[in-house]
Every structure is written in C-alpha cells, then in structure tokens.
Structure 1
Amino acid sequence: MPQKIGGWVRLSSATFLGVCRSMLNWVTLQRQNLVAVGTNLKYYIERGGAYFDITPIRATATLTNPFTTSLNSTTVLVADVAHGALQNDFVTFSGASAVGGLTLNGEFQISFIDEDSYNITAASQASSAATGGGTVTATYQINTGNEIAVPFRGWSAGTWGSGTWGSSGATDAPMRIWSQSNFGEDLFFGYRGGPIFYWDASNDLTTRAVYVSSLGGASNVPTIVNKTFVSDIFRFAFCFGSNALGSATLDPMLIRWSDQEDVANWTPAATNQAGSLRLSRGSEIITTLQARQEVLIWTDTALYGMQYLGAPEVWGAQLLGDNITVAGPNAAAYSGNIAYWMGTDKFYMYDGTVKTLPCSVRSYVFNDFNFTQYAQVVAGTNERFDEIWWFYCSAGVTQNDRYVVYNYLQDIWYYGTLARSAWIDSDLRENPLAATYSNNLVNQEVGMDDNQTGVPSAITATLLSSEFDLDNGDKFMFINRMLPDVTFEGSTVDSPAAVMTLFPMENSGSGYYNPTSEGGVDNATVTRSATVPIEKFTGQVFVRVRGRQMAFKLESTELGVAWKLGIPRLEMRPDGRRG
C-alpha cells in the first residue's frame, strides 16, 4: 500500500564539523551505545546526542614566539617550519602567553600560507601589532580531507599514454571517506589513502584515537590503506588496498590481514596467521561487505568472495562475477543474505550468483546523475519496510539530493528528493540513523515531519502514477468522479488533507493539457472528518477531465499529515476518438 515516508528528528541540538560520510553503531562492555561518525574534517563518537572528538594527533611541536598579530585584526600569523598542515586542518595551542592582547590557547582551524607558516583566526581583535607568545606547544590533528571529489585538470593528470601530447589531463582529488569496524568493544578505522587508527573503549570518550603503529607489539603495520575491516570469524583486522610488506607504495589490489585477535601484528610468520593476497581482476578494490559465510570484495570490475581456509593459506578469494561495476565505497548494502549495489549505470544483486537487478526507474536515475560524484553514493537498508535506499547527486549538484529505493519484498522501485550523506540501519537503535548537511544526525521514520533543525517543517509528499488509458488507447475518456480510498492513519493533526489531481493529455508525448480541464476542475482535496467508530474521509470528489491518457497524483504539503493510498476508483466513460 503506497504511503508517505516517515519523518525525521535530530538526535540533539549538538552538531559536528564537516560532512559525515560513514557511521558505525556498536555497544561496549559497559553497555554504552555508541556511533562512530567520520567526517571530512574530524572523527567523532556520538553518545546520548553529544559528539566527542577523537580525531588522532599527527604531530606535536614546541615553538618559540610563533605568533604575529596585527592591530585591530583577528587574523594571527603562526610560524612553524615544515609544519605539514593543510588548508582547514586543526591545531591546538597550549602554554602560550599573551601577545597583542590575545592569549591563543585552544583549538584553531588553519588557513594555509606556505610550508613554514599559516594563519589562524582569534576570537577577538588584537590590541596591538606584536610578535611573541613565549614557549608554545602546537598539537596538530591529522590532515583534513575534501568534502567532495574535486576534478583536477592539468599536466600530469590522467594515466600515462592517455590524451594527446601537450594536452591537459583530468582526474579527481578524492574526498575523505572513512571505513571502520569494532574490534570487540574497541574501534579499528582509517580513511581512504591514509594510515590506520585504533580507539580503546576502556578510555574516556574524550581520549583521542591513536595510530595502530603506536600500539604495543606493533609490527609492520600498513602505512597507507584504502579500506579497513574486521572479520566476523576469528577477528582478523584487514586492510583492502595497502602497501606491501617492506614498501611504502599503495597497491590498490593488495589485501593484508593481521594475526588473529591481534590488530597490531602484521608480520607473517610460521607462528601466526598474518598474511596477504593480491586480487587480479580490476585495478583497485572499491569496497567490502561481511556476508553470511564470506567477505564480499568489489573491485572496479569484479566481485570476489573471500573465506577463511586456515593455515597455511589462512584466507583465500574466489571470483564470483566479472565485468561489473560499483559506484563507490558506500554503494552496497546487505539484507536477507543478499547483497545489493549500485553500479555506474545499473543495479546489481548477489544471492549466490551475480545478477543485474531489473530497475523500472533506471533511466530516471542515470540520465540525471553527477558522474564526477560517484563516490558520494550511499546505500542503506530500512528493514522495517523491506527497503534498500541509495542516495546520490543529480546532474550539476555536488551533494546527495536524491534517493532511489528498491522494495525487495514487493519488487518495486520508487524515488524522491532527500539530502543525506550517510545512513545506517542498526538493531541497536530504534530507528535508522542518517547524516544531514546540517552537520548533525537524525532519527529516520519518526513522526511525519522534517525536524532536523529543531523547528518542524512539513514534508511535501507526492505520489505520481504513470499514464493510463482506456481500452487500447484509441478513445478519449471523460472522468467526472473519483472515489479516493485514502486513509490518514498516523496523522498528528485533527484535519489532515491531501490533494488528488488528474493530468489529461491528448496523445502519448503531447504533454499535459493546460488548462487541464474545461468547464470544471481536475483536482479535489481529500480530508479526514472522523476517526471513530471508523476513520472517515472524503468519500467521493467530482471533477471534469477529458483526455486520451491520464496521470494521477496525490500530494500533501501540511505539517502532521500521514496518508496511505488504497485502490482509488474513477468513474469514466468513452468520449469519442478526436480531441
């Protein structure tokens, strides 16, 4: 039964910095229900609506009189030779003495100047031009990443041999995408193209994560990876796309794993189960999912299944499907022992065999798609309604603004507009969680309205049919009455209403009539009049519409309205063959 989607409400008034691209929900031994939140600027843990910054520290430096202030300016110049920071990175100063009337202890965001200096913005204006600050400790967080994939054009962009001599090439500067898994109650995580980190849940939530290479017993820890993962069986830590043992260069098809139950030991030996293997089909590993008895691995052209074999091989991979695509690192979801994913031009499923997933709205999705932002595609489940959701960027848009949904129980597709950058559906929380571009998390399927900012606003919910005709479509039809069959169960207002509209057209492809009716109306408002002893709503509405083909729309635009559509009935009759 078609119905309006549920509303959403923010977890709290707290916000985080950056755009969230990935989340993980787990529970610690102390029964703390936590959500890891990875953004392009920082890494957080959410508990009880509060966001705790656990972003790892990259470097610490001791500086002498590093600050230069300007009269009546909030901009402060900081000198630090070979600081290693990038635009929008974060630094925390401690131990600073006043300079120019400012005491610059605390966290600041960096405005990059050159390798030896940068600017920060103080909370107030300097009272004088001065240089100083005394002995200052500067603590730098790991480099930040891009919010979106940034096309890069110029000399050296692209692969060797592509294009013509002297022409500019093109590639993308990747956006920051995290991957994470719980290692027991702890957290093992990393970002695409970076090192790997570890957060110990026995510490306070204000304690930052550390490099895995800094843990006791660390040995040959990968230094650059594309995706992290922890297996369900025997708890091996994995890096998909990694530098090889003894190398500092990323091999995007190499898989490395740690010793069993030891996230720090990556040195293969006869006495442990650490190891590696390299896949052959494709040029890079894109993403992975834990399936029932295997780990699914997508490269840019193939799907592999990886299984535990025991010593001496430990893990092995077999090819499950070739000549396929996957849109991005977050484009796959798993439900009911079936994997579903969005490719670069179609949808797929794997239920033991790789199959193309027939999609009735495929042209709608891929004919209006920003192909430079494939990496932003987010897939997620909504188990309550037997759905797989994908969020993506429409053409010309650089943030996810649309969704397409596959209902696997009813085998139907539907689509709409909604801006979400990440999504998880966890049994550990009552509702699915989604990340918004308002820099917060929201509980989905709560209420009937949009409450992501704390001020409820109405959701415009629209249901539009395909065109239908009479008999073989050779006759015009005249419609003068509709029986709506709409229920407003779940509405939170006394008199919920929705508008039903008919759109007539003369021929296929001729466009809808304007005006849509002659001497009458083409729409009517359906309202609820009573809820007991049974729900009562407008039983019939009168219209006056003529056309060879028609489309039907139901729409609500008010706060607190919920509706479900049954089987509406139209009173129609043949009305000739000419318009």
Structure 2
Amino acid sequence: MSDGNPILLLSGKPGVKKDGTRVEAEYYTESVWCRFNRLGRPRKMNGYSKISELATGPVYGFEVIPNGGYAYIFSGSDMGVEMQTITLQGIYAGGPYNRTVSGGVTVSNAMWSFDTIYDPTGLNAPVVLAHGGQNLANIDSDITSSTYYGSLTVTTPLVDSGAPQASGGVVVLHPYVFVYGSNGQVAWSGAGLPATWSGNDQARITGSKIVYAAPVRGGAGQAPAGLFWSLDSLVRATYVGAPAVFNFDTITAESSIMSSRCVIEMDGIFYWIGTDRFLFYNGIVKELPNQLNSNDFFANINLNYRQKVWGTKVPRWGEVWWFYPRGTSTKANWAVIYNVNLQTWYDTPIPENGRSDGYFAQVVPNPIFVGVEPDALDKYAFWLHETKQNFDKVENGVASAIQSYFVTQDINYVEQGRTNNVRLTRVELDLNQAEDMTVYRVGYAYPRSVSVTESSTFSITDTKIDDIRSQARYLFLKFESNVAGGFYEMGDCRLWLDRGDVRPGGG
C-alpha cells in the first residue's frame, strides 16, 4: 500500500490461499461458491436446477451419452444400473429404466465404470458397456466382476459381454474394449466386437492393480492407444498390429493415485491427485504446483473414504474440479479447483452436503451432477449445474439463494514499518451486480487477535459506501451475495484510506 496515496485499488492475485497464515497472503484468503474470471476477478458461480429425483443410489458411476436428439444417462449403485433420458437442453424426458443384467445383480461397495462403442455385427447398434467393480471401500480390492453390455437406446436389461472377470473397470480404445484390474491385468476384445474375447488377447502390464484407464492419441493415423493408471505406475498402450496387437510401455513406475475416479482430461492433459501431491501428464508425469491449498487439502481429506473422491471439469471457465469428503464427512462435500487458464487454485463447500458423481458439459451444454441426500422415497437427484443466466438453486420451479462470498487479503501499514491503524472511509463500487450485497469490514490488532466485524448493505444503484469509520491495525473485507437472484463480478473497486490511531486497534 502506497504511503502517499490514500486510494487503494482492491485487487488481490487470483486464487484463494489457505496454506500458511492470512497476513502473508497476496491472494484472497477465503471464498464460497466463487470463481475467478479470465481477468482474475472474483465472480459468483452459476446456479443449478433439479432435473429429476428418481435415481436409485447412492450413485457411484455415471455416464451421459447423446444419441438421436436425447442424452442417455446411466447411473450405477449397489442395486445395479439405471437409465434416464433427457433432452439436449437438460429437460427430463423419461425413466428411470432398470438396465440391470437379466436375472438381477447386486454388487456390494459398487463403483461402476461405463463406456460406449458401436457394435456393427452383433447388435448392429451403439452399445453401452458397464462394469460394477466392488471398489468403493478399498481401491485395491481384488474382487472381480463381469462386464455387461446392451443397445444404448432400448430399456431392456444388459447381458454379460463374455469379457474376462476383472476388478478394475472397462474402457474403450476404439475399436477395442478393454477390461483391467488386479496384478496389472488387461484384456481386450476383438476389433469392433465387444462380445468377442480370446484368451490370447490379454497381458499383465504392471505388478499392481490397475484402477483407471482412458483413451489417448496414439501413433500415426487413428491407431488406438490408451493410458492405464495402477496404484503405483502409469502405463501406455499403443496399437502395433498382429500378433502382439498392443505394446505396453511404462511411463513411470513411481507414482500414486488417490482414487479410481480422480483422473480428468482437459485439452489433452491428464490431471489427477496422488496420495500426497497433485499430478499431471502431458507426455511426461510431473507434479502440478500448488502453493495455495495443497496442505489444506491433504490435511483435511477424510482418507477413510478416499474412493469417493472424483474429478470433473468446467471448460467454460478453464477449471478442473475434484470433489472430496472433508473433515469427518463421509460424502464428497467439498471441491478443490484448479484453474488451468490462470494457473491458480481455490475451493468451495458443495451445497446439499455434496455430489457423488457427475459428467461434464459436452453435447448437453451443462455438467450434470448427482446429489448425495435421498428424498423421502430414498431416491437421489440429478442436478443441472452452470445454468445460463441463473445464479440460484432451482427446485420444482422455485428459486432460492446460493450463498457466495470472497474475502480479501489484509490491508495494513505494518509493511511500511508504521504502527498506525488503517482507517477506511469509503468504498468506491465497481462491479457487475444483481440484487443487494453485503460488505463486511473485519479488523484486528495483531495477527492472532480476536477480530471485530462491521457490515453495510449496498444495492445495484449505489456507487459508493460512505460513513465508514472502521479502523484497525489489520483490516480485510468480505463481499457476500446471499439473496435469490443475486450475482456479482468484481471490477476495479477502490478503497479510501487514511492513517488511523497509533495505538493498535481491532475494529
């Protein structure tokens, strides 16, 4: 803060610093339901609306597959597989339909993986593949399960694909279907033949269990390739043709992974959480730098429920999200967020006690997430997030407020070697705003002192906040929107400051 200029631009570095102490922060120090726009300014996140509340759950395994003007939503639970349909605008269209394998299947600690492929010979239709691994309680579970498949657009039960039993999951590296699991096991189907499996088309590519796999660009042309994450390594599969069909090479044998659902790809780069750091792969595996909330995340995640950690992305804002159970919660009630464009971090609690799974925006222009709290009929909700021009929670046509706020870094004269309090006399407002907001002025005398808070409410017609007599040795501001229809996107707000008393004050 300039000693000679009593007007200060209220501008911190984009991101929220939770590691270390607040006095040392150049970033914002706390936020809820707040992101940073492409200029690095705080902005309230978009709202969400309920699509339906019909799913059997809790849901761990979720896929959204567009086809013929509709999106087919597959969800998995201990009770099997269900399908609902929505329009491409996110409006409920039908279901749920029980797609559980003929004869029924119950899977304890179920964690489902889904994928899709076109079957040109057997069903002559796009098909969905489903594998219900018993992995929710233990990422290293060796219990094997079958892989099921069936036509995408029908409502009849799935059938056994004939794939080898596996403990990990299923993935499509077009035109091959892979299953994977314990002791580095992988097996693949015939090309374009999801129900044709040979005992020769399999390999053990690493020594530990494979928990996740994803397609990746391979060699020349359209040659299939993929990445396989094991408990301690990352292995690449590349198509080489007969007789080996695939070649496997180890990218790293000294890695880790927090959960089997925490890998997310953004613009060709894969991001995931290890057991003690954040990682990414862009041809080589490297640590993803996080100086803002890495310690906070690893100190507060409930590791007893690590398999409930899952990742997604919001490409519109360049964000990678990881939902996780925080503190004593047994549900994924919090999200840590990496902004790829700004290369910064922030986090937020999740409404309604969390989300158990979800799918990012593709043909349906909004991400769809699954609630964690059942209704009176023991059913779970699908929520359409990032709804356009809406910043509320909308349920059954009724809008309610979503609390959103951010807290600035400290303002003080201490760094100039002065003992004066900071006296705040005016806040010049420059922001896009809908509905009333509240600004809290929080002061304290020393970094470990008890703080004193004052507040003012301002409307969309206000240009400034006057008649402020706040002074403290350390001072910070909290801007909050917590009314239905509320929104903000900060611009160049300015603070009118003056030197206050020499005696340290706290409010």
TM-score, scaled relative to structure 2: 0.78
1:466 match: 409
1:258 match: 189
Name the structure where strand makes up a greater proportion of residues: 2
Secondary structure of the residue aligned to 1:375 is helix
Counterpart pick for 2:249 among 300, 315, 318: 318
Does 1:222 find its partner at 2:171? no
Cα deviation digits, residues 213-250 of structure 1 (max 9, x gap):
3xxxxxxx312332101113xx1010011xxxxxxxxx
The whole-number CA distance in structure 2 between the counterparts of 1:178 and 1:484 is 52
Structure 1 position 58, deviation (Å): 5.9
Contact 1:404–1:415 (8 Å) recurs in 2? yes
Q: 1:552 to 1:280 in 2, by over 3 A?
A: same
Secondary structure of the residue aligned to 2:468 is strand
Structure 1 position 477, deviation (Å): 3.2
Q: 1:526 to 1:345 in 2, by over 3 A?
A: farther
Counterpart pick for 2:150 among 188, 196, 199: 199
2:63 match: 24
The whole-number CA distance in structure 1 between the counterparts of 2:268 and 2:331 is 31
2:239 match: 308
Greater CA deviation, 479-488 or 319-328? 479-488
2:384 match: 443
1:53 match: 97
Gaps of 5+ in 2: 1-40, 87-91, 119-125, 134-143, 219-224, 374-379
Give the aligned residue type for 2:429: D
Does 1:177 find its partner at 2:111? yes
Higher Cα radius of gyration: 1
Secondary structure of the residue aligned to 2:306 is helix
Aligned identity (percent) is 20
1:2 match: 42
Q: 1:551 to 1:330 in 2, by over 3 A?
A: same
2:14 match: none
Q: 1:358 to 1:457 in 2, by over 3 A?
A: same
1:565 match: 490
Counterpart pick for 2:280 among 349, 353, 365: 349
The whole-number CA distance in structure 2 between the counterparts of 1:195 and 1:461 is 44
Counterpart pick for 2:160 among 211, 227, 236: 211
1:422-501 aligned within 5 A: 422-438=357-373, 439-446=380-387, 447-452=390-395, 455-470=398-413, 472=415, 474-475=417-418, 476-489=420-433, 491=434, 496-501=435-440
Give the aligned residue type for 1:18: G
Counterpart pick for 1:548 among 439, 464, 473: 473
Q: 1:486 to 1:21 in 2, by over 3 A?
A: farther
Contact 1:331–1:342 (8 Å) recurs in 2? yes
Structure 1 position 577, deviation (Å): 5.3
Contact 2:82–2:100 (8 Å) recurs in 1? no
Contact 1:473–1:548 (8 Å) recurs in 2? no
Q: 1:32 to 1:556 in 2, by over 3 A?
A: closer
Contact 1:376–1:421 (8 Å) recurs in 2? yes
Structure 1 position 578, deviation (Å): 4.1
Give the aligned residue type for 1:277: A
Q: CA RMSD in A?
A: 2.1
Q: 1:20 to 1:453 in 2, by over 3 A?
A: farther
Secondary structure of the residue aligned to 1:374 is helix
The whole-number CA distance in structure 2 between the counterparts of 1:317 and 1:329 is 20
TM-score, scaled relative to structure 1: 0.69
Counterpart pick for 1:239 among 176, 179, 194: 179
Structure 1 position 278, deviation (Å): 1.2
Greater CA deviation, 350-359 or 37-46? 37-46
Structure 1 position 176, deviation (Å): 1.4
1:116-155 aligned within 5 A: 141-145=104-108
Structure 1 position 23, deviation (Å): 1.8
The whole-number CA distance in structure 1 between the counterparts of 2:180 and 2:397 is 40
Q: 1:288 to 1:411 in 2, by over 3 A?
A: same
Contact 2:83–2:99 (8 Å) recurs in 1? no
The whole-number CA distance in structure 2 between the counterparts of 1:342 and 1:488 is 35
1:112 match: none
Structure 1 position 486, deviation (Å): 4.5
Structure 1 position 31, deviation (Å): 4.2
Cα deviation digits, residues 136-186 of structure 1 (max 9, x gap):
xxxxx20143xxxxxxxxxxxxxxxxxxxxxxxxxxxxx311001011221
Structure 1 position 279, deviation (Å): 2.4
Cα deviation digits, residues 305-351 of structure 1 (max 9, x gap):
22212222211222223432211111011011111112222211111
Structure 1 position 487, deviation (Å): 2.8
1:86 match: none
Cα deviation digits, residues 352-391 of structure 1 (max 9, x gap):
2211112211122222110111100110010111110111
The count of corresponding residues between Structure 1 and Structure 2 is 422
Cα deviation digits, residues 452-492 of structure 1 (max 9, x gap):
56543211101123334336164333222343534345x4x
Secondary structure of the residue aligned to 1:280 is coil
The whole-number CA distance in structure 1 between the counterparts of 2:372 and 2:262 is 19
Q: 1:541 to 1:404 in 2, by over 3 A?
A: farther
Cα deviation digits, residues 20-46 of structure 1 (max 9, x gap):
222222233x44421212223231112
1:109 match: none
The whole-number CA distance in structure 2 between the counterparts of 1:504 and 1:444 is 36
Contact 1:499–1:523 (8 Å) recurs in 2? yes
Contact 1:486–1:564 (8 Å) recurs in 2? no
Structure 1 position 550, deviation (Å): 2.5
Higher RCO (CA 8 Å, separation ≥ 6 residues): 2
Contact 1:488–1:561 (8 Å) recurs in 2? no
Counterpart pick for 1:38 among 76, 94, 98: 76
The whole-number CA distance in structure 1 between the counterparts of 2:263 and 2:161 is 27
